Amino acid sequence: MIQALAFYLFAAVTVASGVMVISSRNPVHSVLFLILAFFNAAALFVLLGAEFLAMILIVVYVGAVAVLFLFVVMMLDINFVELRQGFARYLPIGAAIGLVLLAEIFLAVGAWTVIPVTADSSITPIPPMNEVTNTHALGALIYTHYVYLFQTAGLILLVAMIGAIVLTLRSRSDVKRQSVDEQNARRPEDVVEVVKVGRGGGV
């Protein structure tokens, strides 16, 4: 009973804040509602017994992604009123595409006949939840059975990093850059000059 109540509470808040994300006029409010939606989704994960995913959602999405969004929204001077101008014009076609996709999902769900899964086609049975924590179970899989995918993900991130540097880093001649070696090599006697200033005179 309590669990059902909690589920409906969190689910309702998630959906409501999702609606607010796209409908609020102030983009900063949108991001804040997005964070609220993330928190409630995390609570839903906890209810499902997926505590690791819940924590990751908060750490990664609230801690990093949402804060990044806030930065972008505040730093870029985007005129959101202008962005919304085409909204009414594109609404019919957008709604039509959405309806088609919805109809397709209903078709697919209506025809849902899951092919019987044989025992050996599922290589990774779900461990009993009261013996193994989520984190342990995921870790035991990611670093063993799925080490190939894990390493590939690492390579993709490496390429993303190289790409970001290649496309944005430029050496500018009009910017003074700090040179630690040069700073450390400076000696006081080279740069400090003791001047005796006479009374009533300047340097």
Partner 1 sequence: MNAVTSLPVMMPASAEIFLAIAGMVLLMIGVFRGESSLRFLSYATIATFAVAAILVVTQGGGGEAFYGLFVSEGFAQFAKILILIGSAFAVLLSRDYLVREQAGRFEFPILILFATLGMLMMVSANDLMSLYMSLELQSLSLYVMASIRRDTLKATEAGLKYFVLGALSSGMLLYGCSMIYGFAGTTSFTGLAAVFAAQTGVVPLGLVIGIVFLIAGLAFKVSAVPFHMWTPDVYEGAPTPVTALFAVAPKIAALALFVRAMMDPFADLIGSWQQVLVFVSIASMGLGALGALVQTNIKRLMAYSSIGHMGYLLVGIAAGNQAGVTGVMLYLATYIFMNVGTFAMILAMRRDGRLVEEIGDLAGLSKTHPMMALALMIFMFSMAGIPPLAGFFGKWYVFMAAVDAGLFGLAVIGILTSVIGAFYYLRIIKIMYFDEATQPLDDAVSQDLRVILYGSAVVTVLFVLFISPVYDAAKVAAISLVGA
Angle between helices 27-48 and 67-75 (to 10 degrees): 170
129 binds partner 1, rule: CB under 8 A: no
Number of residues that bind partner 1 (CB under 8 A): 39
111 binds partner 1, rule: CB under 8 A: yes
95 binds partner 1, rule: CB under 8 A: no
155 binds partner 1, rule: CB under 8 A: yes
Nearest to 126 by CA among 56, 57, 54, 49: 49
167 binds partner 1, rule: CB under 8 A: yes
Nearer to partner 1, 145 or 186 (CB): 145
Single-letter code of the amino acid located at 129: M
109 binds partner 1, rule: CB under 8 A: yes
C-alpha distances in Å from residue 106, one per residue of 101, 112, 154: 9, 10, 37
Q: Phi-psi region for residue 37, left (φ > 0), alpha (ψ -120 to 50) or beta?
A: alpha
Nearer to partner 1, 48 or 140 (CB): 140
In the list 4, 165, 191, 197, the residue contacting partner 1 (rule: CB under 8 A) is 165
Say if CB 32 and CB 74 are below 8 A apart.
no
123 binds partner 1, rule: CB under 8 A: yes
Say if CB 41 and CB 124 are below 8 A apart.
no
166 binds partner 1, rule: CB under 8 A: yes
Q: Which residues bind partner 1 (CB under 8 A)?
A: 104, 107-109, 111-115, 117-118, 121-123, 127, 131-132, 136-137, 140, 144-149, 151-153, 155-156, 158-160, 162-163, 165-167
